[in-house]
Structure formats: C-alpha cells, structure tokens
C-alpha cells in the first residue's frame, strides 16, 4: 500500500512540475507536507535537505560565481574573446561555444550564459548577424562544459552528496573529466558542423535600432478596422509604409514571423515596428496604424531622448520571478514603463499583463527613463539588451575575487578540505573582502530552486525508505532480463535522458539516484557506473527548453520555437547517450 501511495505522490509531483500549474517551490513545499502528514517520512527525514552539505555547497558556489562577475573578474573573458568574434559566422560559432564551454566547467553553466549571451548579442547587432544562430549552441556548449567537473553543474554536487550518504564516498573534483571532456569536444564539433543550417535567422528587434542615421524607435501598433494594410503581405505593407520595418506580427497572442511569404496582415494584428520618429508619427496621422494601449506619462515617440526603448531578459536569480510585471518596484521605482512581455513564442500586451507572472527567460519590452539606465544595468534581476557594451564598474577587486575563487577550487581538488568547506569559506571571503556585498550575495541565491532541490531529495529518500525504488528497479529490469550489465546501463542512461527532457536535470537526477543504486546492487556490479550514468544522462537535456535554465534564458531573446530545440537537441541527445554508454564502463568497469 505504501508503494502505491508514494507512486501516486511521485506522479502528481511530476505532473505539477512539468505543467507549471503552480510555482516549483510551492509544489516542493506541498510535497514535503504530504510526505510528513502521511507518515512516509518523519520531520527530520523530510527536512534533512536543509542541512545537506551538497545544498550548502550549491549556495556557496552561487555566491562565489556572483562575486567573480560582480567584481569584474570575468570581464577579461569577454574582452579577450570579443575581437575574435568579428566577421565570419563559423568563427563566431566556434569561438563562442569554446569560450563558453571551458569556463562552464568551473563557474557553472547558468552564470556563464548570463554573462556571455548579451555580449554575443551585441556583437551580432554590430555585424548584422542573427543572434538566433548562436544562442542555442551557446546554451548547449555551456551544458557540455559543465559535465567536466564536480562544480560544473548542481546535478553533480547533489549526486556526490547522495553517493556519500549511501556509503560510496563523495565524487572527486575531476573524476568526471574522462567522460566529460570527450562530451564537450564532441558537442562543440557537432554544433560547428550542423548548427548553421539548422538554426533560424530571426532579427533581434532592439538590435535593429542601432547604426541608423536618424534615431530609430521601436513600438507596437494595432491594425485598425479599415486600414489599407489589411490583407497585404509583409513585403507589400513595408513598401506601402515606406520608411519603417515590420519586425514581428502578433495575432491573438501568438508571435508570427514576418519572413513568412504567405502571411497577410489582418485586422487587430499587433505589429512591432521600427522607424524614425517622423515615419512613425506619419503612420498615426494617416490612420494606417493605432497605438494598442495608452502609454501613460510617455510622449511617443520620445524625440527629446528622455526615454529609451530597450529589452530586458529575466534572469534565474531575479526577484521579479513569480511577480506581476505591472506591480512592484520595476515601474514605480525604476522609471520603467512596460510595453509588452514575450515568453516562449507568446506575446502579452497591456490588456493581458495583469494575469502574467514572470518566469526565467521572459523578455520585457520597456520604455526607460534615460537617466536611470546605469542603475538598471547594475541590477542582477535582468540582462539589458539595449547596449551590452558597458563595462563592469570598478575592477579593483577583480584580482582578489579571482584569487579567492581559484584557491577555493584548488583546495577542494587537492582534497585539503571537503568541497562544502572550501566553497563556504570562499563565499565568506568574497563578502568579507568586499568583492560582493552581503545583499548581492543573498540575491544571487535562488531560494525557489533550493526549495525544489530539498523537496526532490525528500522524495528520493521516500522512494528508498518505502522500497519503491527497488520495485521500480525490478520493473525496469524485467524486459531486460538476460542482457549484459552494459546494455542495462545504456538503457538506464537513456531513461535518465528522456526524463530530463520532461522535467529538469536536477529533479531527474535526485529521483533516479536511489533507483540507480538499487539497480547496481541487484545486478551485483559497480554502483559507480550507474551513479555516473545518472550524472551524464541528466546532461542530455538538449531537446527541451525546460530541462535547463540556460535554455529558458536564450528562448525569448533568440525568438525560438520549441521545434528549434528539437532540430539539434534530439541528435545531440542520441550522440551524448551513445558516448556515455561507451565510455562509462571503460572508466568505471562494471
């Protein structure tokens, strides 16, 4: 009966996490409550994750990474790479993927993408290239780079902590490298030879404002009834409108590409238009287009330069996550007027914004008071796309921050102390020496994700305690009876990969860890092979935007559709699965 109960709880949890019906932290808190109320876990067992060294290590590493970025210690990376990203597309692709993959092994893939994506977008703007050609490859390369070390991804740290609790000892800093380095090399080469023809070539609207002789403006207009634009193709409409360009068409909340030659403009369509002040005012005077909603307090277009139109991407550590964009400090304190929100191919304008709750990777189209730009750029809540070539203010602490980070990692790699001690001490020194403020350190910690991790750890404990993990193991092994352990390991890695696409790498790895150990014990083989099978199987989340935060970060700015992740993601998943299946038994013999 207990196995049936925990199975029902597991299925409900998976449904809530994948459907995003409720915030992930609320789902995790509800899960903890249910496990305690039903008596499956005692309070100390359910809440043990709050004292788990792996969770503390993740928190400390987030602070360390934030200290590096905040002190400007990583600006050398972009300054060194940027000159080599000029001109030819293949060079941009190769240098950007390698430049992201290598540091992701030490700093974490999410932090690297947050830092590098806007730099790449700025270079694309400057040289007339489409950011959508490069953003998904950069996300993929960061994930592949994160497989090399213990600290490259939270998944490895969690699995290491669980392995120690099961009696197999913590995993080494570079114990992943014999498999992780080939995965990184193969991923970069695969992207180099395949991504150019597979990725879409979308325009970045705000980038289109740069380099024009006359000041260019960006805004939304609706197509009123009786407009002469109705039923025209985009090409014909632009010819009729003369001095403006249509960048996006929104129909019933769905973003449509103006590159579709068959697409015709309809009444009530919302057009994202770029043009000079005179040209845009001319559209209104001729009644060809109308403002879809009132822009209170803003003179449109902003001839005086009092306001600037820009786009901002919501980051994983943003305090705006789960909040309404129309409320709070974003508009009241920062002098920002929200125009629209874009999310995974959907578009929310003024009439719908009251129902929106912001999530990672959402792109805000805003009008901002010019004098507030410097303050807004300094916020960790979003990436400003309007002008990414600003430098981190004050780099006097950069050498110190880099030294603290390097010393922490070196001490952990040399096993002078446990990784949790090294990371925690490094985080303390970052704050104590002024490399990062205490407030910024707290802001760098994603409480929502930590609560989710703790909830999944409790569920993993419940699966093991109730015997459900062993039941699932028997069900998995039944159709594979008679096959060699290597075939069973390969099938298990594939299962991990598939579940990662449906949920997330953290959720999948924590839930499958007890199953992996049970499976190894049942087969009488080396548990390390199955433990690392979970680690590398959870790194196969390339085909779904929900499997990794980095995918969500690039989804909106790249103007991607779900199918864009499938084009490269599915073959890359298969490639990494096959490579892991081949290499893991060689490095950790069964």
According to the model, what pLDDT value does residue 179 have? 94
Q: Record the tokens describing residue 401, joined without a space.
A: 């921050």
Q: Record the tokens describing residue 152, joined without a space.
A: 């490259």
- Do the beta carbons of residue 126 and residue 152 sit within 8 Å? no
According to the model, what pLDDT value does residue 329 have? 58
- Residue 478 to residue 527: CA distance in whole angstroms: 19
- Residue 551 to residue 569: CA distance in whole angstroms: 11
Domain ranges of the chain: 2-201+402-587, 205-384
User: Count of CB atoms within 10 A of residue 93's CB?
Assistant: 23
Q: Where are the beta strands (DSSP E) in 184-243?
A: 216-222
- Averaged confidence pLDDT in the chain: 79
Helix (H, G, I), strand (E, B) or coil at 447: helix
Q: Is pLDDT at 207 greater than 70 in this prediction?
A: no
According to the model, what pLDDT value does residue 586 have? 94
Q: Is pLDDT at 221 greater than 90 in this prediction?
A: no
Q: Is pLDDT at 447 greater than 90 in this prediction?
A: no
DSSP 312: E
First to last CA, the chain: 34
> In degrees rounded to 5, what are phi and psi of residue 368?
-120, 140
Q: Is pLDDT at 418 greater than 50 in this prediction?
A: yes
According to the model, what pLDDT value does residue 580 have? 94
According to the model, what pLDDT value does residue 461 have? 84
According to the model, what pLDDT value does residue 570 have? 92
533-545 pLDDT, tens digit each? 999 998 888 888 8
- The whole-number average pLDDT for the span 190-203 is 83
Output the CA torsion 58→72→132→218 (10° steps): 120
Residues in the chain: 590
Q: Is pLDDT at 297 greater than 90 in this prediction?
A: no
310-367 pLDDT, tens digit each? 778 887 777 777 777 766 556 655 667 776 677 765 655 554 555 677 777 787 777 7
- Residue 65 to residue 316: CA distance in whole angstroms: 13
- The whole-number average pLDDT for the span 488-506 is 87
- Do the beta carbons of residue 520 and residue 556 sit within 8 Å? no
DSSP 392: P
Q: Where are the beta strands (DSSP E) in 304-421?
A: 307-314, 336-343, 346-348, 363-369, 382-384
Closest to 98 (Cα-Cα) out of 234, 12, 36, 191: 191
Query: CATH for 205-384?
Result: 3.30.70.1450
116-147 pLDDT, tens digit each? 777 777 777 777 788 888 889 999 999 999 99
């Amino acid at each position: 009966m207990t196995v049936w109960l925990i199975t029902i709880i597991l299925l409900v949890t998976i449904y809530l996490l994948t459907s995003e019906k409720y915030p992930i932290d609320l789902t995790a808190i509800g899960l903890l409550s249910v496990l305690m109320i039903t008596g499956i876990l005692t309070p100390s067992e359910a809440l043990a994750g709050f004292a788990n060294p792996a969770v503390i290590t993740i928190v400390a590493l987030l602070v360390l990474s934030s200290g590096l970025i905040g002190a400007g210690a990583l600006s050398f990376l972009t300054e060194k790479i940027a000159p080599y990203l000029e001109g030819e597309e293949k060079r941009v692709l190769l240098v950007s993927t390698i430049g992201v993959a290598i540091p992701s092994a030490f700093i974490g893939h999410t932090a690297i993408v947050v830092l590098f994506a806007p730099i790449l977008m700025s270079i694309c703007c400057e040289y007339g290239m489409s950011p959508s050609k490069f953003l998904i490859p950069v996300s993929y390369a960061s994930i592949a780079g994160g497989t090399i070390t213990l600290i490259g991804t939270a998944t490895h740290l969690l699995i290491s902590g669980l392995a120690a609790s099961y009696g197999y000892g913590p995993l080494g800093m570079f114990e992943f490298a014999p498999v992780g380095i080939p995965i990184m090399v193969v991923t970069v080469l695969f992207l180099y030879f395949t991504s150019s023809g597979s990725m879409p070539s979308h325009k970045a609207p705000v980038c289109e404002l740069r380099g024009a002789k006359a000041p260019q403006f960006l805004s939304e207009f609706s197509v009123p009834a009786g407009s002469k634009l109705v039923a025209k193709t985009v090409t014909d409409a632009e010819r009729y409108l003369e001095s403006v360009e249509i960048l996006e068409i929104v129909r019933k909340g769905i973003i449509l590409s103006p590159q579709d030659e068959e697409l015709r403009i309809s009444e009530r369509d919302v057009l994202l238009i770029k043009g000079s002040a005179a040209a845009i005012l001319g559209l209104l005077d001729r009644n060809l287009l109308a403002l879809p909603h009132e822009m209170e307090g803003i003179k449109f277009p902003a001839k005086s330069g009092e306001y600037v139109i820009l786009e901002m991407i919501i980051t994983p550590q943003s305090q705006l996550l789960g909040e309404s964009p129309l409320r709070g400090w974003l508009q009241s304190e920062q002098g920002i007027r929200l125009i629209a929100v874009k999310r995974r191919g959907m578009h929310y304008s003024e009439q719908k914004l009251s129902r929106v709750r912001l999530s990672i990777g959402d792109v805000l189209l805003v009008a901002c008071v010019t004098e507030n730009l410097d303050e807004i750029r300094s916020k960790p809540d979003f990436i400003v796309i309007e002008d990414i070539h600003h430098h981190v203010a004050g780099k006097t602490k950069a050498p110190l921050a880099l030294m603290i980070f390097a010393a922490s990692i070196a001490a952990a790699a040399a096993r002078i102390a446990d990784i949790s001690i090294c990371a925690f001490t490094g985080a303390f020194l970052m704050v104590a020496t002024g490399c990062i403020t205490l407030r910024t350190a707290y802001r760098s910690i994603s409480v929502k994700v930590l609560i989710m991790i703790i909830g999944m750890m409790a569920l993993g404990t419940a699966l093991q305690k109730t015997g459900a993990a062993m039941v699932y193991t028997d069900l998995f092994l039944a159709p594979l009876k008679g096959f060699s352990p290597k075939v069973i390991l390969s099938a298990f890695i594939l299962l991990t990969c598939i579940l990662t696409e449906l949920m997330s790498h953290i959720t999948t790895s924590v839930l499958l860890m007890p199953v992996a150990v049970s499976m190894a014990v049942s087969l009488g083989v080396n548990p390390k092979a199955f433990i690392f099978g979970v680690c590398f199987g959870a790194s196969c989340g390339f085909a779904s935007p929900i499997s990794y935060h980095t995918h969500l970060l690039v989804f909106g700015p790249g103007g991607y559709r779900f199918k864009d992740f499938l084009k490269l993601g599915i073959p890359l998943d298969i490639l990494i699965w096959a490579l892991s299946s081949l290499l893991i038994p060689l490095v950790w013999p069964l």
